[in-house]
Chains A and B, each alone.
Chain A
């Protein structure tokens, strides 16, 4: 395997390595959801901290969170921050409240600090009025759907077991038609029981400017669906992603952006990438829960109860305090905190050990390769192969010659 994939940061003493400030702030604006998706890492996993937290985030928590973000941004002179309005289902907090929160943060930050605000919703509560409120406040809207057909979303149901699909697809289509400039894209969880190309093409029918394909939550002690497959190494998720990649890659134009694919290409070309799914970039996101608790990215909740907790909160602690919290600091140390198998792996620089939560094994913590290790290798090598093929082509005669 090429040197490109095996490069990683030289060993450095952890104390001498500067921490990277938080740039992405995930604010849980509501702690409940109107859906009960069977695979939800918040409500259907081992973590049940949500039960002891407020459903609606109190104004005092939101105000203090804004204070803390502004404090952190000023201290580090950040040119931009990402505000992620999350949940539960964030629209249960009310679109006006989300707009007020975002405007309040913008007013507190320096004029040269841009706020990239997004709300990640299940789409069922989107109306034209709510979309306008969000868009007019500069909030982009991301929708969570597992495909563009009803049967792709069988696991996404409400608390009475009724399919969320009709309301969700109505919301997504309304967003695309009514305020396309506010449409951030669609997040879909990979389901290997669904045809990959059909899934992708059905998602395209929703006109997303961007997609991301998320590997299901799972780890060595609670494997993802379809992972137990006999003695031979199999790569169902790698194969699935490779199939979608080829469909996307060989299209006559870029039909949508796919974050996982684009970040993989960027990493293979030696460019920095920003995704917790790949690469060794310091992780710079932090979560504020509905009671003000400062937590790690909540995908960790899929590992065990309380896995995301830090013991910190916005009333008593700053985000600087959170940066010093050892598990958070560890996620900024690149390859140093990876398992030995990862550090010596040929695809380390691109894989980066994969999503942190996927490395968990009961009794051993997170110092393991990803449960998706073989799939990630399969996928990365596939993308590498496609890039190599393209690089051997002769250049186009002229850019203008390319058929639009």
Chain B
């Protein structure tokens, strides 16, 4: 049985470059940062109106949201290493 292992400080393997962040290109933005244009609030959208739009992918997706998540069809689960 695997014992709980404390988080290692393995500098040889996990050495971070100067600057502190191992992933230079992925520095998170400052709290509350917004980049680019302001985008509209989507929560106020009427899903029934969206279903009447001429957008096949969205319409199918909305049908799944309405039916599939109620157990009528195959649903997605949380674990991402399988379906």
- A contact set with B: CB distance below 8 Å: 1-4, 23-24, 26, 46, 49, 52-53, 79-80, 82, 84, 86, 114, 116, 118, 120, 140, 142, 184-185, 187, 210, 212, 214, 218-224, 227-234, 236, 248-254, 257, 259, 262-263, 265-266, 268-277, 281, 283-285, 289, 291-293, 295, 297-299, 304-307, 309-311, 313, 340-341, 344-346, 355, 361-363, 365, 369, 371-375, 377, 381, 384-385, 387-388, 390-391, 393, 395-396, 399, 401-402
Q: Contacts A228-B24, A371-B26, A390-B50; is A276 near B76 (CB within 8 Å)?
A: no
B18 close to chain A: CB less than 8 A: no
A227 touches B79 (CB 8 A): no
22 of the cross-chain contacts (CB-CB < 8 Å) are: A1-B34, A2-B38, A24-B79, A79-B71, A80-B71, A84-B79, A185-B83, A212-B80, A227-B24, A253-B56, A310-B4, A311-B4, A341-B30, A345-B31, A369-B28, A374-B27, A385-B39, A390-B53, A391-B42, A395-B53, A396-B54, A402-B54
B5 touches A309 (CB 8 A): yes
B54 touches A270 (CB 8 A): no
Chain A residues lying within 8 Å of B11, measured Cβ to Cβ, are 362
Chain A residue nearest in CB terms to B57: A254
A221 touches B16 (CB 8 A): yes
Chain A residues lying within 8 Å of B21, measured Cβ to Cβ, are 220
B76 touches A275 (CB 8 A): yes
Chain A residues lying within 8 Å of B54, measured Cβ to Cβ, are 393, 395-396, 401-402
Q: Which of B13, B25, B77 contacts A227 (CB 8 A)?
A: B25
B14 touches A222 (CB 8 A): yes
Q: Considering the chains assembled together, what is the distance between the CA atoms of A139 and B48 in angstroms?
A: 35
A4 touches B41 (CB 8 A): yes
**Binary per-residue interface labels of chain B (24-52) against chain A in the complex, 1 for a CB within 8 Å, 0 otherwise:** 11111111111110111111010101101
Chain A residues lying within 8 Å of B43, measured Cβ to Cβ, are 2-4, 269-270
Chain A residues lying within 8 Å of B52, measured Cβ to Cβ, are 395-396, 399
A373 touches B9 (CB 8 A): no
Q: Contacts A184-B83, A220-B22; is A2 near B39 (CB within 8 Å)?
A: yes
The distance from the CB of B67 to the nearest CB of chain A, in whole angstroms, is 13
Chain B residue nearest in CB terms to A250: B57
Closest 3 CB pairs of A and B: A306-B5, A344-B31, A229-B25
B77 touches A291 (CB 8 A): no
Q: Considering the chains assembled together, what is the distance between the CA atoms of A305 and B10 in angstroms?
A: 11
- B contact set with A: CB distance below 8 Å: 1-5, 7-11, 13-14, 16-17, 21-36, 38-43, 45, 47, 49-50, 52-58, 60-61, 64-65, 69, 71, 74-83
Q: Contacts A231-B24, A254-B61, A395-B52; is A362 near B7 (CB within 8 Å)?
A: yes
Chain A residues lying within 8 Å of B16, measured Cβ to Cβ, are 220-221, 362
Chain B residues lying within 8 Å of A305, measured Cβ to Cβ, are 5, 8
